[in-house]
Amino acid sequence: MGRRRRRGACEGCLSIDVRLWHREGRLRPNNRFTWSFWIDGRPSGGISVHVQADSVILKFKSRKLGSDEFVSIDQRVPITWTNCTLGGKRPWFLCPLGSLRCGRRVAKLYLGSYGRFGCRQCCGLVYASQQVTGRLRAISRARKIRMKLGGSESVADPFPEKPPRMHWRTYYRIQSRAAAVEEHVNHWIMRAFVKHARDP
């Protein structure tokens, strides 16, 4: 049985977020604006956006699949609105990809390998955390718990003291959870150490 192919991560793709555009007041009908992308602090292209009553029209250049040639793309992305619990409305993109138009309601769309914006599922993407092994997830969880209490991220350091104003019951609950996670991490470290000692 072959190994599963590693899927691309959302964090490595260009994306647009309808929540951000809404917060910035960009979703007024007939509004036009340019949206720039940045990767590692450097500009990485952009798109022109034309807002309509129930959609946005994205205009951008995209590389043809398997080619170095760029083509101009006009992509319509429907927008729907839902009521918020405490009043107001929240916008969502409706994914425009898929043979039957996916239509999944999402906050973010990603520029997939087909040169169009679509939801995470249609673009075959996963979150970077989903590609991390269980061991690394456990280490990351242990570090986050320690840092939340104001301590060092190193599991080798003493466990942090209770922060001021935190209830002791809360502190003991967090400490107990951290102990369970760190026991798992220490067990894995010991097994790796023993294996390395046997097979130098």
Query: Tokens 């679509």 identify what position?
Result: 118
Q: What string of H, E and C letters represents the secondary structure of the chain?
A: CCCCCCCEEHHHCCEEEHHHHHHCCCCCCCCEEEEEEEECCEEEEEEEEEECCCEEEEEEEEECCCCCCEEEEEEEEEEEEEECCCCCEEEEEECCCCCCCCCCEECEEEECCCCCEECCCCCCEECHHHHCCHHHHHHHHHHHHHHHCCCCCCCCCCCCCCCCCCCHHHHHHHHHHHHHHHHHHHHHHHHHHHHHHHCC
Neighbours of 33 (CB within 10 A): 14
Instruction: Report the pLDDT value the prediction gives residue 20, as an integer from 0 to 100.
Output: 94
The per-residue pLDDT of the chain, averaged, comes to 80
Model pLDDT for residues 172-192, shown as the tens digit of each residue: 998 888 888 777 777 766 776
Instruction: Report the pLDDT value the prediction gives residue 2, as an integer from 0 to 100.
Output: 43
Which range is least confidently modeled, 115-119, 135-139, 153-157?
135-139
Q: What is the mean pLDDT of residues 47-56?
A: 95
Q: Between the ranges 78-87, 114-123, 145-154, where is the mean pLDDT highest?
A: 78-87
- Give the tokens for residue 146: 């320690």
Query: Tokens 């969502």 identify what position?
Result: 92
pTM: 0.59
Which positions ≥6 away from 89 have C-beta within 8 Å? 81, 82, 83
Residue 83 reports pLDDT greater than 70: yes
Q: Between the ranges 21-25, 67-71, 174-178, where is the mean pLDDT highest?
A: 21-25
Neighbours of 174 (CB within 10 A): 19
The residue that leads in pLDDT, 6 or 107, is 107
- For the chain, the domains span 8-126, 132-198
Instruction: Report the pLDDT value the prediction gives residue 91, as an integer from 0 to 100.
Output: 95
Read off the pLDDT band of 195 (50, 70, 90): low
Residue 200 reports pLDDT greater than 60: no
Residue 3 reports pLDDT greater than 70: no
CB 58 within 8 A of CB 35: no
Model pLDDT for residues 153-177, shown as the tens digit of each residue: 777 788 888 888 889 999 899 888 8
Instruction: Report the pLDDT value the prediction gives residue 8, as an integer from 0 to 100.
Output: 57
